[in-house]
Chains A and B, each alone.
Chain A
Amino acid sequence: ASNDGLLRIGLKKLKLDHNNGLAARLESKEAKDLRASIRKYNFRGKLG
């Protein structure tokens, strides 16, 4: 809290690197299986 009456919450940031799984997930077996199944069964997307 400060003089201007606002409550400020500092946010931390998770930096992107190889270890956070973002890139790894792209090439994971699960992702490949998903892509393969999409092609055949799920063109519109599971939320479509």
Chain B
Amino acid sequence: DGSDTDIVALKNYMDAQYFGEIGVGTPPQKFTVIFDTGSSNLWVPSTKCYFSVPCYFHSKYKSSESSTYKKNGKTAAIRYGTGAISGFFSEDNVKIGDIVVKRQEFIEATREPSVTFLVAKFDGILGLGFKEISVGNATPVWYNMVKQGLVKEPVFSFWLNRNVEEEEGGELVFGGMDPNHFKGKHTYVPVTQKGYWQFDMGDVLIDGKESGYCNGGCSAIADSGTSLLAGPTTVVTMINHAIGAVGVVSQECKAVVEQYGQTIMDLLLTEAHPKKICSQVGLCTFDGTRGVSAGIESVVDEKDGRSSGLGDAMCSACEMAVVWMQNQLRRNQTQDRILNYVNELCERLPSPMGQSAVECGSISSMPSVSFTIGGKIFDLSPHEYILKVGEGAAAQCISGFMGLDIPPPRGPLWILGDMFMGRYHTVFDSGKLRVGFAEAA
């Protein structure tokens, strides 16, 4: 299902990772795994993995050495952004901390073709999402923990230590939360779509000012398996502009501003329905809720049967320009200034699923970026959303924001990864089907 694999694609970005150790089998065979709330399967490399180089660099499960192994044999495959893992299901005991989850289904990976797994510091992934998104309908580990009475509450919580000076990575607590690792009370929001830990989110603020795009509501997923933050290109472009991040220059965007900018502004000023403006100017067709590409491609520069995709791009650019202009008009900016600003934004588009460099020396002057969750504001300071790699003159700084455009009904969507969960202690409550955030301590 394409809509689900879209989101899994983010797993490429595993640069600021948190991982822990589990044991599979009896006696336990040790594996280092990512505890990932954005997926629901457990997989580890299999000793039967012969033809994938990554398998030779990681621990491998040997069923013949486990007295509690049960054969299953059903084949399985999980797609990630740059590759996939495949193998077959097996069943065995899984030791997590001091408890043993019995008869846990998991995937023995026999193929790991992606280079992502070759360089990975972890052996496998332990999914903490819901069964609804589990490949092969396998029961996730935490379901069995609850079912087997190994934890008192159907709740788990994450504390991720963002202090770079400290060795301790963090703590995943099953059965509740550790009061030492958060301050104040959690703000809880209901899970809106079981599968991912998905909830409704309000607007994103840049320097305390509304960006406007999520005024009508966006969705968000709390994803411990993603390092950074990903959200709609329209908003990430505004953030890029505000923090001076290097972006992609879009000629289509500039063309829209140059040719249609004034018309769009006039239509906004006449209080035309903003969602219909791009179809009114002929760049999109209106599908009843928003402008969508008419699918008309430019054939002017068609070569080898490939079109430039210009029609689609112009529609997207127009949709973004409307939001940007609307936002500026709300702030009573002059028309000249608005057109200039929007033109500047056209030079700051994030590379799809890519990272953007910023000036390390400017971090302290960058604005805060805030998320509205459950009616409360959750701030991230620049020190929290910028990753600094290296030290001194060799230091490089990377924005934690990536562009990710998921269309309705699942989107627009934000993925709140470790960068957010580091600042905010996160509780995943399956009993009450809710996610909670509080200031991490």
Contacts and interface: CB of A to CB of B under 8 A. Distances in A.
A43 B316 contact: yes
A14 B315 CA distance: 41
Given A23-B396, A43-B313, A9 B173 contact: yes
B138 interface: no
Given A8-B97, A22-B355, A47-B404, A17 B176 contact: no
B403 interface: yes
B178 interface: yes
Nearest to B32: A12
Nearest to A1: B98
A22 B116 CA distance: 12
Contacts of B398: 22-23, 26
A7 B19 contact: no
**Tier of interface size on chain A:** 35 or more
**Tier of interface size on chain B:** 35 or more
Contacts of B390: 17-18, 23
Interface string A13-27: 111111011110110
Interface in A1-48: 1, 4-18, 20-23, 25-26, 31, 34-35, 38-48
Contacts of A43: 250, 252-253, 309, 312-313, 316-317, 349
A35 B403 CA distance: 13
B351 A48 contact: no
A8 B308 CA distance: 53
A11 B20 contact: yes
A45 B308 contact: no
B9 interface: yes
B389 A39 contact: no
A12 B350 CA distance: 30
Interface stretch (B10-18, B191-199, B205-213, B321-329): B10-18
Contacts of A4: 176
Please classify the interface of chain A as helix (H, G, I), strand (E, B), loop, or mixed, using the class held by over half of its residues: mixed
Given A22-B355, A45-B405, A10 B169 contact: yes
Nearest to A7: B174
A7 B98 contact: yes
Contacts of A11: 18-20, 35, 160, 169-172
A14 B164 CA distance: 10
B396 A10 contact: no
B58 to A, nearest CB: 15
Nearest to B350: A45
Nearest to A12: B169
A7 B150 contact: yes
B18 A9 contact: no
Interface in B24-39: 32, 35
Interface of B: 6, 9, 15-20, 32, 35, 96-99, 119, 121, 150-152, 160-161, 164, 167-178, 233, 248-253, 306, 308-309, 312-313, 316-317, 349, 351-355, 357, 387-390, 394, 396, 398, 403-407
Interface of A: 1, 4-18, 20-23, 25-26, 31, 34-35, 38-48
Given A16-B164, A35-B248, 13 more contacts: A5-B175, A5-B176, A6-B178, A7-B97, A16-B389, A21-B119, A22-B15, A42-B352, A43-B250, A44-B316, A45-B352, A46-B352, A47-B352
